[in-house]
Structure formats: C-alpha cells, structure tokens
Amino acid sequence: MVDPWMRSVVLTNANENYNLYDLMKALDKGAPERGTKVQLQAPDQPFSGIVYIGNQQLTATDYGVFLFATQAFSIELGQLNVIYFKMIFLRSTQASTRIGVTAVQR
C-alpha cells in the first residue's frame, strides 16, 4: 500500500528560490526525503504569475519547467530509482504562491 504525501507549500517571497524538501519538512517533520513520483501544481486563478522548477542553479532564465495557473508537472520513476526532493527547487514571480505537492515514496 502506498500512502502519498499530499500537502501544499507556500513560496513566501517572489523571485526567491525555495528547496522543495525544506518546504515539506517545515510542514511535516515526517515528510519523505525521496520517492518514486512527485507532482507539483501551480495555484488556481486568479494567480497570474509563473512558477519555475529546476535544480539549485534555478533562475528565471535557467530552469527546467515553468507553470502557469492550474498547470501541473510530474516526475515518475520506476521502483528501482528515486527522486531526491531536496534536489528540486521552486521559484515564483508572485509572493505567497501556494504549490500543491503530491509525493509518493515506495
């Protein structure tokens, strides 16, 4: 049985990088450090900003993926590989951006 970690994290300041795992741990000391799947969803309307997703070199011009309102991005690996959530960084062009996170640890 897989029990996904499903919460929402907040990017407090605009144009600042946030480590996904640090945000998860701030909400839940038992948050998983790694897993086989993660999905990140940008907030609903009236959000008019951009959420950037990348690694520790994340900037508004150097990123892996960007999301607009209601869009989601997922990474899913087989059971033999894992995603380290502390290697994922988030950045928003708007302050107080709430990001939906679903993380699956197997």
Contacts of residue 98, Cβ cutoff 8 Å, sequence gap at least 6: 8, 9, 10, 11, 43
Per-residue pLDDT at 2: 76
What letter does residue 34 receive in the DSSP assignment? E
88-99 confidence digits (pLDDT tens): 999 999 999 999
Indicate whether 79 pLDDT > 80.
no
Q: What is the SS3 assignment for 88?
A: coil
User: Rounded to the nearest 10 degrees, how much is the dihedral formed by the CA atoms of 72, 13, 6, 77?
Assistant: 50
Residue 106 confidence (pLDDT): 75
Query: pLDDT, tens digit, for every residue of 1-59?
Result: 578 999 999 999 999 999 999 999 999 999 999 999 999 999 998 899 999 999 999 99
Q: What is the pTM of this model?
A: 0.94
Q: What is the CATH number of domain 5-104?
A: 2.60.120
Q: In this model, does residue 80 exceed pLDDT 80?
A: no
pLDDT for position 99: 97
Q: What average pLDDT does the segment 62-79 reach? A: 94
